[in-house]
């Protein structure tokens, strides 16, 4: 891909299979395992799953251990720019790379890495539509073990307009219905009904993809987002979810519709509900 070509938000397995040998291509597995039980949420690195099976040539990037900030306002908080640049450089991503990200779960960890790359000013990134499941379904070979790319220099240029803090979201809520901002909750409809930030609308991330985990056609996405006012040019979407992960899937879908002004509330409900004084609607 040349500099004059626009990097697609998504690529399919056929495209990736044909381009695996491209010298500038960097394929990154961003798998994380998230589970819930009576004790709450549990997060496990997807490194072991990657070592069992991955797209040939892909390197693994640890979103939890490497790209989250343990001192952030909530779990999964985006790592500082310096840390992000170090981890991506060690993974072989340079300023001229074309990165393709995927995961082997439900796609939202791949979109999380897509969003973090964009947050740091890097746009040459695509999400593998359908992830590892689509790669397997196409009958393509996979690899095991650990693979790496030569280390590179990644330059982070953070775009602060793409991330929102709890204080900033509080200001929106306290101001009442603000015509310039639209809060979009990306959790399931039942979760949304149980409690959400006042003034929010709901676009569940699970409704953005089909049964195989591939992004729905643009026409269907447009209808879904238009129905809640998310395509109104006078309102800037701010997406959120439970922990800032599924919110990035909504941000990516909106980018497919030409909304490149989306911000993600990184702390999401984890941060919002940390103070019981903050209001919830149900």
How many Å apart are CA 42 and CA 250, to the nearest integer? 23
Rounded to the nearest angstrom, the gap between the alpha carbon of residue 106 and the centroid of all alpha carbons in its chain is 11
How many Å apart are CA 269 and CA 256, to the nearest integer? 25
How many Å apart are CA 212 and CA 266, to the nearest integer? 27
Residue ranges of E strands in 72-157: 98-102, 125-128
CB 262 within 8 A of CB 162: yes
Choosing from 169, 215, 241, 269, the catalytic residue is: 241
Rounded to the nearest angstrom, the gap between the alpha carbon of residue 22 and the centroid of all alpha carbons in its chain is 24
Whose structure tokens read 């640049």? 85
CB 224 within 8 A of CB 91: no
CB 119 within 8 A of CB 67: no
Quick check: is 241 catalytic? yes
Catalogue the active-site residues: 241
């Amino acid at each position: 891909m040349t500099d004059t070509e626009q990097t697609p938000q998504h690529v399919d397995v056929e495209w990736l299979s044909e381009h695996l040998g491209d010298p500038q291509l960097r394929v990154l597995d961003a798998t994380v395992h998230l589970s819930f039980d009576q004790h709450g949420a549990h997060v496990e690195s997807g490194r072991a799953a990657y070592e069992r099976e991955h797209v040939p040539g892909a390197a693994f990037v640890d979103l939890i251990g490497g790209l989250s900030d343990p001192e952030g306002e909530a779990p999964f908080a985006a790592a500082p720019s310096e840390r992000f640049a170090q981890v991506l450089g060690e993974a072989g991503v340079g300023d001229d790379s074309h990165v393709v990200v995927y995961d082997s779960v439900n796609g939202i960890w791949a979109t999380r890495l897509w969003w973090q790359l964009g947050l740091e000013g890097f746009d040459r990134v695509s999400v593998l539509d359908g992830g590892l499941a689509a790669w397997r379904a196409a009958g393509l070979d996979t690899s095991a073990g650990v693979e790496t790319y030569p280390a590179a220099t990644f330059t982070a240029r953070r775009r602060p307009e793409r991330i929102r803090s709890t204080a900033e979201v509080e200001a929106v809520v306290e101001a009442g219905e603000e015509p310039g901002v639209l809060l979009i909750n990306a959790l399931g409809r039942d979760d949304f009904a149980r409690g959400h930030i006042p003034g929010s609308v709901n676009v569940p991330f699970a409704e953005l993809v089909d049964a195989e985990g591939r992004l729905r056609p643009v026409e269907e996405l447009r209808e879904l987002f238009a129905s809640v006012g998310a395509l109104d040019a006078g309102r800037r979407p701010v997406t959120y979810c439970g922990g800032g992960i599924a919110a990035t899937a909504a941000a990516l879908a909106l980018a497919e519709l030409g909304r490149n002004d989306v911000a993600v509330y990184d702390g999401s409900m984890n941060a919002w509900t940390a103070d019981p004084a903050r209001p919830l609607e149900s």
